[in-house]
Amino acid sequence: MVEPRPETAAEALLLRLARHGVAYLLANAGTDFAPLIEGIVRLRMLGATVPEPLPIAHETCAVAMAHGYWLVSGRPLAVGLHTNVGLANAVMGLINAASDEIPMLVLSGRTPVLERGRLGARDLPIHWGQEMRDQTAMVREVVKWDYELRFPEQIVELIDRACAIAQSAPCGPVYLSLPREVLCERYEGTFPREPLQNPTSSALPELAAIEETARVLAEAERPLLVAQRSGREAAGMAGLVRLAEALGAPVVEHWPVRISFPASHPLHAGFDPHPLVTEADAILIVDAIVPWLPHRATPPPGCTVVALGPDPLLRRIPIWGFPVHRALPGEPAAVLHALAEAVERLPAAARARCAARRAAVARRRGEWRLAARARAREGCGAPMTASWASLCLAEAIGQDGVVFTELGAEPAVVQRDRPGSWFGHTMAGGLGWALPAALGAQLADRDRLVVAAVGDGSYLFANPVACHQIAAANGLAVLTLVFDNGMWNAVRKSTLAVYPDGHAARTNRMPLTALEPRLDFAAICRACGGFGRRVRDGRELPAALTEALRVVREERRQALVQIEVAP
């Protein structure tokens, strides 16, 4: 079928997004969406392919859904927002997306410029009240590129450029502001089949730098690999496994935002890098914003530190004082495989030393797996511990599905092996991310089991009524586990860390940390047509999870288990 010619700038925008493979427009619409809505209807009547418009009940949900969708599918989505007020609601999600290097196209309306005389000009009181001198200033620091559409004939080149920049390493969100009058104008421009610009190709460091790094790591007596993400796809994990095995070096995942290394692998050294950092003589930082906490550990004098990733020096972070003696820019999977190949080319004597070290490390470093689960089994009570709840989750799902966690399940207990099966909240710390991100993942792959494991505070931040309504409206059968300890535990722990012997530590009720009264979160899910159950006794949790998983898998309905855990 011949693609129809767009009549308006709004139609050209929709057709161009579809040409770039954007499957969904996740939108929280406002008065600025009239030309887009009209264009969707007319183009569909003509049989044209346009992104499927999904009404999303809150902007933070829309951005987090696009985030989760990309993590699972590798395809960016478009998010449609209403002028400054909708953009303001989306800012926190964009901070998370920027930190996690997630490509997405953020499109917002702009208050109509004209007061009369043109289709799309101001016709409601809010069109004066929502005017801003610089609307884009709200997001300029966290997007890679921004622009405001001025003329209808610009739209094709702007969408092509936005998609190319968003998907060029390091990836990230981009923003385009869309005045309503311009979207309404007739489109007279060209509509080339191929994009005018494409994402940049990922480059590898120079061969000499790769070979020198491989030599330093292989000759070290106590090399250490620290990862927060080794890439989104299986190739990243495979590259890290290959390099670790070639070196015989332990791998630690510190605050993992994506799973980087199989938990069952004998070279996995757990999730606390600090004891190993203090004794290492060579460290490879694998795409990690925070490889260790400087107040807890410092590499010893003479230790060589190498960092790899799309931006190994984290230029967007003003203060980042970790030592980096060599920086290897590039997509993690490709750089890891190149390093592994270089180690495998070393002389036989060097490779023999690595093999001997591999056996020794494997003997010493496997204890954490058994210890973590043994500790978890001690927490089966009323209320139970978060470790016990994490163990019940691990045993209920095995290695199936994907877990999105935010101050909920413990990675040391859940112990995931498969690439793309674990995503943690970003270092930006914008809470309320995991549940809507899980909805986005389910939208990308409806046959996959998706679990959101969140703290009670994170659940409240997620706009839970909006999330459960979105799930019901779109048939997204996500399992949500709320780890309910009745408090902002991150705030409590932070206070205790700063003032371990302070007055707040000795009080029975620490100010600004209580989440009381404890609400019936399970009832919220039930009100939206899902399964909901509240569990306090740890012995009852396995049965509750079994029933919730049955609802998700067989009935294809969302389910929520509220788990009362000890502080």
Q: Quickly list H helices, 51-206.
A: 59-73, 83-99, 126-129, 155-166, 180-184
Q: Angle at which helices 332-344 and 207-219 pack, to 10 degrees? A: 60
Contact 515, 486 (CB under 8 A): yes
Q: What integer pLDDT is reported at residue 489 of this predicted model?
A: 81
132-140: long-range contacts at Cβ-Cβ below 8 A with a sequence spacing of 24 or more?
132/84, 135/83, 135/84, 135/87, 135/108, 135/110, 135/177, 136/175, 136/177, 138/84, 138/87, 138/88, 138/91, 139/87, 139/90, 139/91, 139/94, 139/106, 139/175, 140/175
Residue type, position 137, single letter = A
Q: Which domains does the chain have, with CATH numbers?
A: 9-184 (3.40.50.970), 207-365 (3.40.50.1220), 370-564 (3.40.50.970)
Taking the C-alpha atoms of residue 310 and residue 360, their distance in angstroms, rounded to an integer, is 32
Q: What integer pLDDT is reported at residue 1 of this predicted model?
A: 56
Residue ranges in the chain whose pLDDT is less than 70: 1-2, 231-232
Q: CB 502: neighbour CB atoms within 10 A?
A: 11
Taking the C-alpha atoms of residue 395 and residue 121, their distance in angstroms, rounded to an integer, is 59
Q: What integer pLDDT is reported at residue 179 of this predicted model?
A: 95
Q: What integer pLDDT is reported at residue 2 of this predicted model?
A: 67
Q: What integer pLDDT is reported at residue 384 of this predicted model?
A: 96
The secondary structure element, H or E, covering residue 411 is helix 411-414
Angle among Cα 256, 259, 263 to the nearest 5 degrees reads 100
The secondary structure element, H or E, covering residue 146 is strand 146-148
Count the residues in the chain.
567
Q: What integer pLDDT is reported at residue 364 of this predicted model?
A: 77
